[in-house]
Amino acid sequence: MTQEQEHRKQAPQQTNDIERRFSEGMEVRASDTGGTQLRGYAARFNSVYSMGWFTEEVHPDAFLNANLSDVRVLFNHDPNNILGRTKAGTARVGVDNQGLWYEVDLPQSAATVKEAIQRGDITQSSWGFMLRYTDQTNGDKWEKRNGRDHRTLMDVAEVFDASPVTFPANPDTTVAKRSLDMTQQADRSEIEARQREQEDIQTQIDLQIALQEREAFSI
């Protein structure tokens, strides 16, 4: 097992590994059935945003294998204020060339939320997700850009919710920090392994030279 595979294996898939990000833009419009729909983008591709100590973006292929079968649309992440759910057919999610979109048939009980969005009081969405880490895939990729750590979300395992929010909170970067630490540890281990390999090769070369010199001296 390679160091990178070990890194993927160690990355846990626990409830506390759910990450949240925010995006701008949503609209309320009339549905074909005479009701009201809320539509917005939970995530946008190739849009670099600051996460404080690092920058981040979503790769266009990040949702190719994502589980989108049971996404809930909540107001302010409150499970007691559910606006719709894909499993119930009252919400829909999909991916286009801009990103991950969501659409929900607003219930009559969401009249206040509807008005707040129409007035421009609520303009942002939050989405909850978990990345995939296996022996075959790595959920994210780290690199240096402009002297800063930069993370690209490569493989989303599951999307849990997409929610209009009043106050976008600062995302918890614990999962990202653990991922970066594991990546850096794997990189260091790989470098050390290469160094040892080069040292072994050099030792073999020196030994061969010493044997050749001994044979030449014996003659």
In this predicted structure, the answer to whether residue 170 has a pLDDT above a threshold of 90 is no
Task: With cut-offs at 50, 70 and 90, classify the pLDDT of residue 5.
Answer: very low
Mean pLDDT of the region 169-188: 80
Helices (H), 41-173: 111-119
Q: What angle do CA 212, 218, 219 make, to 5 degrees?
A: 95
Q: Mean of the per-residue pLDDT values for the chain?
A: 84
The neighbouring-strand residues paired with 29 are 37
How far is residue 57's CA from residue 138's CA, in Å, rounded to a whole number? 15
Show the tokens assigned to 125.
Answer: 């969405």
SS3 content of the chain, % helix, strand, coil (to 5): 30, 40, 30
Q: What are phi and psi of 167, to 5 degrees?
A: -125, 100
pTM over cut 0.85: no
What three-state secondary structure class fits 217?
Answer: helix
Q: What are phi and psi of 203, to 5 degrees?
A: -60, -40
In this predicted structure, the answer to whether residue 47 has a pLDDT above a threshold of 50 is yes
In this predicted structure, the answer to whether residue 157 has a pLDDT above a threshold of 80 is yes
Comparison of pLDDT for 183 and 101, the residue scoring more: 101
Q: What angle do CA 64, 186, 50 make, to 5 degrees?
A: 55
- C-alpha 80: how far from chain center: 26
Mean pLDDT of the region 20-41: 90
Q: Please check whether residue 97 is in contact with residue 105, taking contact to mean a CB–CB distance below 8 angstroms.
A: no
How far is residue 66's CA from residue 69's CA, in Å, rounded to a whole number? 9
In this predicted structure, the answer to whether residue 63 has a pLDDT above a threshold of 60 is yes
pLDDT at position 58: 97
In this predicted structure, the answer to whether residue 9 has a pLDDT above a threshold of 50 is no
Highest mean pLDDT among 18-32, 101-115, 167-181, 193-207: 101-115
Task: With cut-offs at 50, 70 and 90, classify the pLDDT of residue 28.
Answer: very high
Q: List the one residue out of 72, 75, 77 whose CA is nearest residue 88.
A: 72
How far is residue 98's CA from residue 38's CA, in Å, rounded to a whole number? 17
Mean pLDDT of the region 156-180: 89
The residue with tokens 């979503």 is: 58
Q: Please check whether residue 69 is in contact with residue 75, taking contact to mean a CB–CB distance below 8 angstroms.
A: no
In this predicted structure, the answer to whether residue 108 has a pLDDT above a threshold of 80 is yes
pLDDT at position 11: 43
How far is residue 55's CA from residue 161's CA, in Å, rounded to a whole number? 23
